[in-house]
Structure 1
Amino acid sequence: MNKTPRIRIPPEVRKYVFQRDKYQCQSCGKTGLETDLSIDHIIPLARGGQNDMSNLHTLCFTCNQRKTDKLDPRFRRHFEI
């Protein structure tokens, strides 16, 4: 499996993903008012995930650090892994 090169996520894409996810962590449910939010790749780039919007979701800093480069089984249903 080839690692996808990391690119900077454009501000308009970040804004779209945050709005789509209602400024809420898709793992624990905390909102942007409760914690710092970040954009994360559902399938990590290190595991062949892509840089497109369908592979991005909102996570809080804590959940993002916990996930590292693992695959979250809750999101496998959306992708053919």
Structure 2
Amino acid sequence: MTKTPRIRIPPQVRKYVFERDRYQCQSCGKTTLETNLTIDHIIPLARGGSNDISNLHTLCLTCNQRKTDNLDPRFRRYFV
């Protein structure tokens, strides 16, 4: 398996993901008023994940650091 190269997430994409996720951590539920939010890959790039918008979600800094490059099936998204 080859690692997907990391690219900078454009501001428009970051805004879309934050709005889609209602500015709320998708793991613990904290909002932007309570903590610093980040954009994270659901399937990590190191595990073959893509830079596609459907593979991105909002996590707080604490949950993002705890997740590292592990897979968490709770965060699989399927878009039609």
CA positional deviation for 1:2 = 1.0
Where in structure 2 are the equivalents of 1:54-65 lying within 5 Å?
54-65=54-65
What is the aligned-residue identity percentage? Answer: 83
TM-score scaled by length of structure 2 = 0.94
TM-score scaled by length of structure 1 = 0.92
CA positional deviation for 1:44 = 0.1
Structure 1 runs of 4+ off > 2 angstroms?
Answer: none
SS in 2 for 1:18: helix
Q: Name the count of aligned residue pairs.
A: 78
In structure 1, the gaps of 5 or more residues are none
What is the rounded CA distance, in whole Å, between the counterparts of 1:75 and 1:61 in structure 2?
16
SS in 1 for 2:17: helix
In structure 2, the gaps of 5 or more residues are none
Residue in 1 that maps onto 2:7: 7
CA-based RMSD of the aligned residues comes to 1.0
